[in-house]
Structures are given as structure tokens and as C-alpha cells.
Structure 1
């Protein structure tokens, strides 16, 4: 019978309550009469002395005929506590063990007399984690002194194995939690684009890596798409990845151009250490202009799947990896037609020991084109199914690295749903803005929103005119809601503040 502490301690954890042992395993050889062996059978399992080889016999579990207590609380100063403190296995007939066995097994459990019971503490690397009990029925020979040595070996190896398994389980849990918290819980649903993502660790033995992806809503109904890869598979790589991802999110909220975002990420990586290298691709999609701006820092190029089924590898300047320092990053602006799908990924998807990165990119491009043809050229393939199909291209031996995958389906905002004006920064601008807004609402059949929109436009445009030197922009977007956007050239970013009683104005 094998008893283990409940719950099992991990590492240097100290119990805060009473120590409880729970019965985890009961093995008992079936009586020979129950094996159903006819006379002469079992000869192949007989040894030189004609004894049956018990290693070939089936075992029965806790439902066998040796009922034992499921739980046992170790009383401080009790006989069981003293035996477990001694660490070494003892016969059931030894001093202290006679009282310890009933305490462990329960008073109703029969204990064979003589040396037919062994109580072996299970000691891990730091403390006793349980106990094993070996019992022999009265019709069998009693245990000998050598059996204590065997029991000690079994108990030692078992306890260390359990200890390592528990510790590994905790480490794996921490790794999974770390990786999960480093990656977004879910993707936003910005206007004019649909998103899907996948993440696969390199292997069960390396669950933590430096790959990440992100989608960050930006002002003006735009969205930033980010994918990156820190070198290595370790807690350190994951920690650096988390810092770079947080930095990218902060820079995105400042609405910096993609090339400038990569420049600041490069500076951040240098502060983390000279050997902290990473690749990153940062793209900003504008659903109104149907354009996308991309900057690359040593990352594999994205692939664009057009509505007609054509897949192309976008020509983006590769740039140097983040952390090199002293390099410039170049951004390019490309068309992002409605219905097209942009695929951002890390090199684990296209590179392995069996193929180089450019071979993998070509295979990815062909896979996307084939998938689009199967679903028809008139409409785009389902986004989630497309991600699954891309991962299915991985064969045996292709999983050498983590894989982060971010897919963006461009839907855009139709020109008929956009109204755009430029207003000179003068006193008449708020009145003109109200008139423009009323006309747009009348054209869209949204006159019931006129009062709210006119008040909003008047307040925000007035504030913008007070601080702007160049024409103020007013844009209305009819999407799932009516969006009103006002822009000006003031370098100070607007933020929500609570007005004090003494305030007469404010940005």
C-alpha cells in the first residue's frame, strides 16, 4: 500500500496545517487458485525451484480484499510520526511500528504477525512525502533482513521520482501560466478587420518561448498588427518577450509610426543586454484608406492572400533584428484591398532542420493559394479554418521552434460610410462642423442622432480650434456605431480628465 501526503508539497513549501496521508495505491497478488490455471499451465513462468514467477501475475487495485483507511492524519509525537522521522524501513514487529501500522492502516485492517510487514517512509529530497507498507499473508514466508534493503531502495527511488514529478508539474504549470499571461487573452474586434491567431510551443519539454503576437486598436479606427520572436526557449526569453510586448503596446498608444516603434524597441532591447536579440514586424492597417504600413526588423515577410486566390509574399525591407543597435528601419505603405487576408507568423512555421526559411515561405504561399482555390475564388476562406489549415502543413520534424500566427481579414469601411471635412481653425469652424454633421446624418437616415452629435461636434471642434494652427479634420464613420473623430496638429495628445471648479479651459 502506498500513502502520499495530501496535498503533496512542492519544493520548499511548508505545511500550514496537519499532515495528512492519503491512500494512493493498493496492489495485491491474486491467490493462485483464482488465476484459473489448469494443471501444467504456468510452467513457463516457473523458476528453477518450481516457484511461480509473481512478476507475471496480475494485480488488483484498492477494490481488493485488503481494505485500508483512505486518509490518515499524522499526530505529532505519535508512533507513526516517530517511525516516519526515522526515514529507514522497519519491520512491523519492531518497537513503535506495532502501534504505527494500525494508526496508518486503520484499526480494522488486519496486520500479519511476525516479520510479515514492512513500513517504509517515502522521503523526497527535503522531507518525508508518504509511506509504503509491504504485507505478506501468514501462508507465506516472513520477510528477511535483505528485504529491508530492497524496501529501502524501492522507497528511495519511488519518493525521488514522485518528488521530481511534482516539481516538474509545478514548473510546467508556471511555464504555461507565464506564457499564457504574456500572450493576449483574446483579440480585439476593431472596425473593418477580422482577426484570428494561433500559438504552438516548440515541444512539451520547452513550453516557454519568446514568440508573441498582438493586435492593438489605434485612433482613427486603425489597428496595429504585431508579431515578434525573441531568440531562445527559456524563462528569460519569455520575460524579455513580455517586456518588448509591453513596450510595443505603450508605443502604439502614442500613435508612433511603425519605423519609429521598431527604433524604440531596438533601444529597449539594448538596455536589456547586448545579447538580447529579437525579430519583429509591425504593421498599421487603415480601414478607411484601405492601406497598410509595414516596418520590419529581421522578421520573415508577411504573406497576402488576395480575394481571387493569389497569394504573394510582400516585399518589405527586411531590416536588422532588434537589439543590434545603430540601424534604421524603413516602412513601406501597400494596398490592403477588401477581402484580402494578411498572414503574420514567426519563423517556426517556415523553418526547421529539414528546410530553409525561403523554402518554407514558398510552401506557405502555395498552401494559402491552394486553400483559397478549394473554397472558391468569389469569397475568402473562413479565417479560423485558414489558420488551422496553415498549421496542418507542418510535418514530422518541422516543430523545432515556437509558432505564433496572426491572420487579419481586411474588410475596410466603404466610402459611402465615411464623411470627411477640413475646417480652418477660426471661430466659425464649430458652426460649419454642425451643418456638415447634420447633412451627413440626413444622408444616412440617422436624424435621431442630430442633437447628440451636434453637441459633441461643437464641443470637440471648439477645443481643437483653440489649440490648432493648421486645419482641423472632422470625420464621421457609420459602422456598428456612429463614430466621430476630430484631429488637429497639436503635439499634446488628448486625454480624459476631470474638470476642477477653478478650470476655465483645457486640452
Structure 2
């Protein structure tokens, strides 16, 4: 379509044919406006991009012809007033329907002209930069996505705690990608509660991230309890079964009910102003361990495909951390149960001896280790007290500890004196080929003789707490650890009156990074420990007096007293 002579062509009839060819042949939009900003001329390029015939512009303003296109009229009037050219940006939608262009963007320059027969006019030349704007928007979206994925590496999964990891994920998603977000993790242990009906998956609701104005309403979505059950056919269940996201932009009542499986809860979504939902499965090791639910409310735009891809990437990283935390929690529980089984609370073999014990995992890891203790009855009302520490940590050390403990019980049943028990213990350990050494401390309390006989195998010295006499470190002859085959152990006998308490412990109590062990032993000897009262109170005082933050190694303590 081309424009016709005046009024569509406001220039002089003798205007250069080259000028006219340039104006009407250029791909840039060219318009001429009068002082009331009404169109005098539009070139074919503007007709094409606007989708409006040239005659429809004549004598009308842009707002009258294309009401959805915004143009800063005030800037154009300034150009008419002072004659200084100015750049402006026009945005909006036009009548061009195919292909769909959506919101468009132009950059234009306006000049004041004086044309014969027309007087003062305004000429504008503009080019469309919609594709450039879309490119820049896409680039910005890609940068945002990469930034979020990079942030996920440092902000999500900072601890081996499921709850913390889910909160970190939700706080990363809000407000970057959603107005509200929360995760649900598959519950495998029902903790004594009735299991869900057959075919139903139970999720444990995790704390999410929502704005304060939505928090109270959205808290009702999962029901009153800490769990939510997902029947077959629900959107979240479909996500978990397929491993693919579920998107509900500008969701209808029917879609809301696919998410909530409850008309009342669907109404909660409506009241909260949420209009679009995105559910992404948390997949680790090829199986779904939960879902993350995102919502957009109010004036927020619906989710895009880029949003879905970004959330999938974040969910994949978070799922690995959540699965690791869950496996750690399971192994942690199993480890503690194993440690409790191996370190059963010592009994009181004879009425003349009272015993108490503590086992504290280190602050760095909570796993089974090689610390062990025992108390065994001997003939003549005597009691054998045992404290040992297998070198190393973890399940291998725990297995070796169990073997050493059983072996020592067998050797001690022979009735030999403590130094001979250690010699035989060492010999048999070498014969069995145990691949880890252990330190060991034995003490035989004899109430009839008011004494205690002790022998050590590379173990920290015991402590004796006497009423009215304070705390004393009992230095014993040095002996090699058990398992070396060197033997040659010696014993020491000390008086032990009624009311005195003997303390045996592992090196985790006194060893600290950067501190000489002799200094720690001096601190231990300087503690004012209660000689009277319950042994548990004495142990509490001991642990609080020696702790400097979390213990760096496992700590086992065995206390024995003549009541």
C-alpha cells in the first residue's frame, strides 16, 4: 500500500524524487504531524507495522488510531516549542495479528519542520527494536537463571538437615521466581501414627517462604497436621509419578482442586490471590522424594517455560542435598542405636560399687566410634572397670571395638591380675589379627581392701576424686596399646576409701587442637568436682568444666564409687 498525493504527501510537489523514494521506500516508520499532533502523512513502512490503512491516520492523533500504543506527547510538544530534536520510546500493541507480535517497542526521533502550505509540523522517524528488546530480556532471563543456579550451589544444602535445606530452597525461590513456595518430602517412617491408606503417598510439610499477608491463609492448605496425603489423581502425585512438572497458569477452580483435592482448600487459594501454580518434583537417584510448590499472586505474571526450566534445575540440585540429608539422618539414627547397643549402661555388679557412664559423640560427626567401657563382677566383691578407645572412627572402629570388648570379657573371666589380663588381651588380639589398635585402662576396685589396682595400655591416666581432698590424676606406668604384641604391662595399687570416686575416660575429654594434653590434664585436676551426691551430677560438672565448644572427638566416661 502506498500513500497518495496531498494531503497524504505534505511536501512540495517539486520535492526531489530521490527524497520521496527514500521516505516511501525505507523500512523505518516516517510520520508528519501538525501542531495538534494529528497525522498529515504516514509512510508505507508505518502502515505495514501498524496494520492500519494510511487514510485512517489522516487528521487523527496516534492515541485515536492506536489506543494501545503509548507515545510521550509532552516530549513531542517540547520539540514543537523549542525546535530541539528529541528521542522517544513508543510501546504497545498494534493491529498486526499474524504472526502474533505481542507488546512492541519503537525508538523514534522527532524534528520540527516548516513546510510550504502546512506551516510548523513535526516529523518523526522510528525503527522497531522489539526483537532487540526481546533478545535483551532473554539474555537477562538467562543471566538470572545462571545466577540462581550458582546461588543454589552455596545457599541450598549447607547442612545435613532436611528442614534447613527445604527452607533454603524456598527462600531462594521467593521472591526471585514466585510469591510463595514450599516443599513436601515423602514420609517413610510414620513414627507410630497410622500409615496412610493404600495407594496414598504421605508428604511431610516443610516450612516454606511466603509474604506475611499470605502466611495465615496458606498455612491452612495442608490441613492441621504436619503431613498431607496425596491420593492418585492429584497434581502433585502425578508430578511424582512422571518426574515432570505440572503447570497451572491462571488456574481455574478445577485446576485448583487437582492440586488441593478439596474444594475448601481451593477456595483458600482464591482468597489468597494466587492465580498461577507450578509443581516440580524433587528427583534424586531416579526416584521422586517429594515436590516443591510455587505460586504467583496479584499482579505477578504467570509462569513461563523459562521459569519452569529454572525451577527444575534448582529442584534437581536441592533434591540431591535433601536425599543426602535424609540418608544421613537415617544412618545417624541407626548409628546411635548401634552405639547404645554396644555401650549398654553398666550395671552395679556388687552392692559395694556404684557406677555411671556417659558417651558423647563429637561435634564434627555423629556416628559410631571406637570408644567403649565396661564393668564386670569378680570374685570377692571386686569389680573390674574397663575403658578403651579403638583407633579411628566410624563403623570399622565400632566393629573392632565390639571384638575387643568381647575378647576382654573372655580374658577377664580367668581371674588373673590386671597386668596379666592386659598381657593376655594383647597376645590374643595379635593372634586374631585385628587391624586396629586400641588403648585400654583396667581398674579393679576391692571394697574389702579399701584399694584399687590399675594398669594402662597407652590410655590417658585415671582421676580419683576424694572427699575433702580434691581431684588427683593417677599417673600409671606407660604401656603399649593392645594389638602391638609388645606386652610388658605394670600395675599400681592406690588406697580408695569410702566416698571416693574413680573416673576413667577417653582422650576426647582432654585432647584439644592447639593445646598440650598436659595442660588439659592440669585443668582436669584443678576442677572442683562434687564428691558427694549423685554420680550423674559429678559427670555433668566434669563435662561442663572441660567442654570448650563441641568436643572434637568422641568422649566416653565411666565413674565408680564406693557409696
Show the counterpart of 2:454.
294
Distance 1:317 1:337 in 2: 23
Which residue does the alignment assign to 1:205?
Answer: 365
Q: Displacement of 1:201 after TM fit? A: 1.8
* Count, aligned residues: 369
Say whether 1:358 aligns with 2:518: yes
Residues 255, 120 of structure 1: CA spacing in aligned structure 2 closer, same or farther, 3 A cutoff?
Answer: same
**C-alpha contact 1:296 1:319 (8 A) present in aligned 2:** yes
Provide the rounded CA distance (Å) in 1 between the counterparts of 2:480 and 2:281. Answer: 59
1:23-172 matched pairs, under 5 angstroms? 24-25=205-206, 57-58=211-212, 60-61=214-215, 63-64=217-218, 67=221, 71-75=228-232, 83-92=239-248, 102-108=257-263, 109=266, 116-137=276-297, 140-172=300-332
Paired residue for 1:388, among 512, 535, 540? 540
Aligned partners of 2:187 and 2:203 also within 8 Å: yes
3-state SS in 2 of match to 1:148: helix
Task: Provide Cα deviations, 1:157-194, integer angstroms capped at 9, x if missing partner.
Answer: 33223212211111111121121111122432522222
> 2:552 aligns to what?
400
In structure 2, C-alpha distance between the alignment counterparts of 1:388 and 1:162, rounded to whole Å: 35
Question: Aligned equivalents of 1:122 and 1:67: distance in 2?
Answer: 20
Give the direction of change, closer, same or farther, for the CA distance of 1:17–1:160 in structure 2 (3 Å limit).
farther
Task: Choose 129-138 or 117-126, whichever is displaced more.
Answer: 129-138
Distance of aligned partners of 1:309 and 1:140 in 2 relative to their CA distance in 1, 3 Å threshold: same
| Corresponding position of 1:185 | 345
Q: Corresponding residue for 1:53? A: none
Which structure's relative contact order is higher, taking Cα pairs within 8 Å and 6+ residues apart?
1
Q: What does 1:207-286 align with in structure 2 at a 5 Å threshold?
A: 207-271=367-431, 273=433, 275-286=435-446
* TM-score for both structures, normalised by structure 1: 0.63
In the alignment, is residue 307 of structure 1 matched against residue 467 of structure 2?
yes
- Specify whether residues 343 and 139 from structure 1 end up closer, same or farther in structure 2 by C-alpha distance, changes over 3 A only: closer
Which whole-Å CA distance do the structure 2 matches of 1:397 and 1:122 have between them? 36
Q: Which residue of structure 2 lines up, in the alignment, with residue 347 of structure 1?
A: 507
Q: Is 1:80–1:100's contact at 8 Å kept on the other side of the alignment?
A: no
Q: Is the Cα contact below 8 Å between 1:353 and 1:397 reproduced in 2?
A: no
Per-residue deviation, residues 333-365 of structure 1 (Å, max 9, x unmatched): 333223322221222222222322222222222
Aligned to 1:4: 185
Distance 1:214 1:143, change over 3 A: same
> What does residue range 327-346 of structure 1 map to in structure 2 within 5 Å?
327-346=487-506
* Aligned partners of 2:247 and 2:278 also within 8 Å: yes
Q: Distance in 2 between matches of 1:407 and 1:4?
A: 44
If the length of structure 2 is used for normalisation, what is the TM-score?
0.58
Counterpart in the other structure of 1:491: none
Find the counterpart in structure 1 of residue 48 from structure 2: none
Deviations 1:420-477 (A, max 9, x none): xxxxxxxxxxxxxxxxxxxxxxxxxxxxxxxxxxxxxxxxxxxxxxxxxxxxxxxxxx
Alignment-derived partner of residue 89 in structure 2? none
Alpha carbons 1:80, 1:101 under 8 Å: kept:
no
Contact 1:92-1:114 within 8 A present in 2 as well: no
- Work out the CA distance in 2 between the residues paired with 1:216 and 1:124: 48
Give the match's secondary structure for 2:362.
Answer: coil
- Residues 352 and 400, structure 1, Cα contact 8 Å, conserved in 2: yes
Long gaps (5+) in structure 2? 1-181, 191-195
SS at match of 2:345: coil
- Provide the C-alpha distance between the structure 2 equivalents of 1:251 and 1:162, rounded to a whole number of angstroms: 47
Q: Distance in 1 between matches of 2:220 and 2:507?
A: 58
Following the alignment from structure 1 to structure 2, what is the Cα–Cα distance between the partners of residues 384 and 287? Answer: 21
Query: 1:297/1:347 Cα in 2 relative to 1: closer, same or farther (>3 Å)?
Result: same
Larger Rg computed on CA atoms: 2
Tell me, what secondary structure is at the counterpart of 1:220? Answer: coil
1:368-421 CA-partner distances (Å, limit 9, x unpaired): xx446xx7xxxx56533322222222242682222222222235xxxxxxxxxx
- 1:280 deviates by 0.4
Assess, with a 3 A threshold, how the Cα gap between structure 1 residues 142 and 63 changes in structure 2: closer, same or farther: closer
Which residue number in structure 2 is paired with residue 20 of structure 1? Answer: 201
RMSD of aligned C-alpha atoms? Answer: 3.6
